[in-house]
Amino acid sequence: MNEPVPLYTAAGAPYYTSGEADANLALANSTSWVSQGVAFYNALEVDLRRNYANGLQFRGNYTYSKNLDDGSAWNTSVSGNTPAFVSFPLNPKSDWGPAATDVRNAASINGSYALPFGAQKRFLNRNSGLVNDVVAGWTASAIVTLQSGFPFSPQLGYNPTGNGDTRNPVRPNWNPAFSGNLYPHTVGEYFDPNAFSAPATGAYGNVKRDSLTGPGLSELDVSAVKITQIRERLGLQFRAEFFNVLNHTNLLTPNEVVYTSATSGISSTAGVVTATSTTSRQIQFGAKLQF
């Protein structure tokens, strides 16, 4: 007897009827790597630079891109924000969507300035000896990094299809009754798990792979470098470097598991961010002899 396909099942998605036997009852798990796949990348790249005669330099890079594929990783160590396997091996096209490396916007702006202090410079140019050694030879630099977040897939902590493949979680359904804000953007709820519902037994969810976008990143790094010429062939370089100088918190991808089992309801940790993607402010000093 044919069973009706559950409501909200994705068009063309496989459906496993109740009581259907696995293809091979003697096989627990298997892993297959196939040297094929489809990827599509387009980008607009802008690179601007300007050098001034007074020692001031600027450079800015911006990339607007879209990266699509049907699989980005062959195990979880390669990419932590995407499943390690395709959801349905007999039809990899069902996983077509944003690649794990699909960063839609990425910008980097850097600049450096040779400070105009000391002999033959604009300011404090009448000093000599120790005073000139202290104020001369400084270069200040800064780099700003900005990028949008990595995509990730909302997942189930179990496989409702019952096909025996328990290693690769199935994605949930979109909840047609949800009308709230999908992205509260808080640490305790980066995305609203109420936007999803558990698929019926035997069915795959209709949410596409990597359909959510994680937190973006912004960071400012600053450095000051001084070069002092001790002798004709001997110099001393001093460096002071400040990483993430504004101490901005950059969040890691949130917990993507919406349901841990068919009867558990929405997981209390769904959408919760538990780590940062960059360190807090770090300061380091260094010195080296150049000869």
User: The tokens of 11 are what?
Assistant: 């068009």
267 has a pLDDT exceeding 80 = yes
Q: Residue 164 in contact with residue 129, Cβ under 8 Å?
A: no
Instruction: Note the pLDDT of residue 21.
Output: 67
Instruction: Note the pLDDT of residue 272.
Output: 97
The closest alpha carbon to 71, from 60, 63, 54, 83, belongs to: 83
| Spatial distance between the Cα atoms of 171 and 148, rounded to a whole number of angstroms | 23
145 has a pLDDT exceeding 80 = yes
Q: How many residues does the chain have?
A: 291
DSSP per-residue string spanning 33-82:
--S---EEEEEEEEEEEEE-TTSEEEEEEEEEEEEEES---SSTTT-TTS
Instruction: Note the pLDDT of residue 268.
Output: 95
Instruction: Note the pLDDT of residue 76.
Output: 62
Q: Please, what is the end-to-end C-alpha distance for the chain in angstroms? A: 86
77 has a pLDDT exceeding 70 = no
| Spatial distance between the Cα atoms of 146 and 165, rounded to a whole number of angstroms | 39
The closest alpha carbon to 144, from 194, 110, 101, 176, belongs to: 110
| Spatial distance between the Cα atoms of 190 and 65, rounded to a whole number of angstroms | 24
Average pLDDT in the 90-115 region?
92
1 has a pLDDT exceeding 50 = no
Q: Residue 87 in contact with residue 170, Cβ under 8 Å?
A: yes
Q: Residue 115 in contact with residue 136, Cβ under 8 Å?
A: no
Instruction: Note the pLDDT of residue 147.
Output: 97
More confident position, 151 or 87: 151
Average pLDDT in the 2-31 region?
69
Instruction: Note the pLDDT of residue 27.
Output: 75
Place of tokens 């005669």: 53
Taking only the tens place, the pLDDT of each residue in 185-243 is 999 999 999 999 999 888 889 999 999 999 999 999 999 999 887 777 888 899 999 99
Instruction: Note the pLDDT of residue 90.
Output: 81
CB atoms inside a 10 Å sphere around CB 145: 17
Instruction: Note the pLDDT of residue 26.
Output: 78
Q: Residue 42 in contact with residue 66, Cβ under 8 Å?
A: yes
Q: Assign residue 190 a region: left if phi > 0, alpha if psi is -120 to 50, beta otherwise?
A: alpha
Phi then psi for residue 119, to 5 deg, are: -60, 135
Q: How far is CA 87 from CA 91, 206, 235, 253, in A?
A: 9, 12, 60, 20
Q: Residue 54 in contact with residue 116, Cβ under 8 Å?
A: yes
| Spatial distance between the Cα atoms of 76 and 169, rounded to a whole number of angstroms | 13
| Spatial distance between the Cα atoms of 75 and 288, rounded to a whole number of angstroms | 42
| Predicted confidence band of residue 135 (pLDDT cuts 50, 70, 90) | confident
Q: Is 5 helix (H, G, I), strand (E, B) or coil?
A: coil
| Predicted confidence band of residue 175 (pLDDT cuts 50, 70, 90) | very high
Q: Residue 142 in contact with residue 222, Cβ under 8 Å?
A: yes
- Chain mean pLDDT for the chain: 87
Instruction: Note the pLDDT of residue 65.
Output: 97
The closest alpha carbon to 160, from 277, 2, 9, belongs to: 9
- Residue 98 DSSP class: E
Instruction: Note the pLDDT of residue 289.
Output: 87
